A and B are shown apart, each in its own frame.
Chain A
Amino acid sequence: QKEVEQNSGPLSVPEGAIASLNCTYSDRGSQSFFWYRQYSGKSPELIMFIYSNGDKEDGRFTAQLNKASQYVSLLIRDSQPSDSATYLCAVNIIDTGNQFYFGTGTSLTVIP
């Protein structure tokens, strides 16, 4: 199992604040990076993905990738109570058979 590490939290932020979620990975063969959100009792759903170093923005979400540091993060601006969920970081390694490896997840609670 390729290592993907996240702070398990729980992370609590007030409504309207910025939530910052972090992820590190160990395999330099990792080619693309994903953030998934999982509500309790539901399956993971894709928030966004990033392939290149730098920032990628999608609405209130910004993913940041630094391949040299093997680090990927997710910023959630203007956090809403509906953002309360577990956030899973994943890396994709195509060369070894298109595998996806997930972190342990960070539990986020947005306090109204």
Chain B
Amino acid sequence: DTAVSQTPKYLVTQMGNDKSIKCEQNLGHDTMYWYKQDSKKFLKIMFSYNNKELIINETVPNRFSPKSPDKAHLNLHINSLELGDSAVYFCASSQVGRSGNTIYFGEGSWLTVV
């Protein structure tokens, strides 16, 4: 069973289009995230949902909007795609526990904007 799954894995689309990436976790975690990884391998936090509270990274353009229908799902919708949006987007989840917590990643979604 895949703990954190995201779809699609590969997405090629034209500038100006709107696209969504879906994410689901079956770990029962309270917190889910979206990270963007650029060509230099930097994993940058975009959003997190923690106990239904959305935490927004102020550097993320408002063309990006997360949607969480329930605790197990956190989807990412992107409007008016730009060339600079090309990157790998990772969904992740974690849970604070007595022994601390660990963040688990999905397999990534490779987005290419042409």
User: Complex formed: what's the CA distance from A24 to B53 in Å?
Assistant: 29
Shortest distance from the beta carbon of B109 to any chain A beta carbon, whole Å: 10
By the criterion CB–CB under 8 Å, are B107 and A43 in contact? Answer: yes
Q: Is B43 an interface residue (CB 8 A)?
A: yes
Within 8 A of A (CB), among B60-114: 90, 92, 94, 96, 100-108
Residue of B nearest to A51 (CB): B100
By the criterion CB–CB under 8 Å, are A97 and B108 in contact? Answer: no
Q: Give the number of residues in B that approach A within 8 Å (Cβ atoms).
A: 29
Q: List the B side residues contacting A1 at CB < 8 Å.
A: 44-45, 57, 59
A100 touching B40 in the complex, CB below 8 Å, given contacts A43-B107, A49-B100, A92-B101: no
A46 touching B102 in the complex, CB below 8 Å, given contacts A1-B57, A98-B50: yes
Inter-chain CB contacts under 8 Å: number: 70
Shortest distance from the beta carbon of A72 to any chain B beta carbon, whole Å: 14
Q: Is A104 an interface residue (CB 8 A)?
A: yes
Q: Is the interface of B mostly helix, strand, loop or mixed?
A: strand
By the criterion CB–CB under 8 Å, are A88 and B48 in contact? Answer: no
Q: Is A94 an interface residue (CB 8 A)?
A: yes
B-contacting residues of A (Cβ < 8 Å)?
1, 8, 31-32, 34, 38, 42-46, 49, 51, 86, 88, 90, 92, 94, 96-102, 104-105, 107
15 additional contacts (CB under 8 A) given A96-B55, A100-B94? A1-B44, A1-B45, A1-B57, A8-B40, A34-B103, A45-B105, A49-B102, A51-B100, A90-B103, A97-B31, A97-B55, A98-B101, A100-B33, A105-B41, A105-B42
A-contacting residues of B (Cβ < 8 Å)?
30-31, 33, 35, 40-45, 48, 50, 53, 55, 57, 59, 90, 92, 94, 96, 100-108
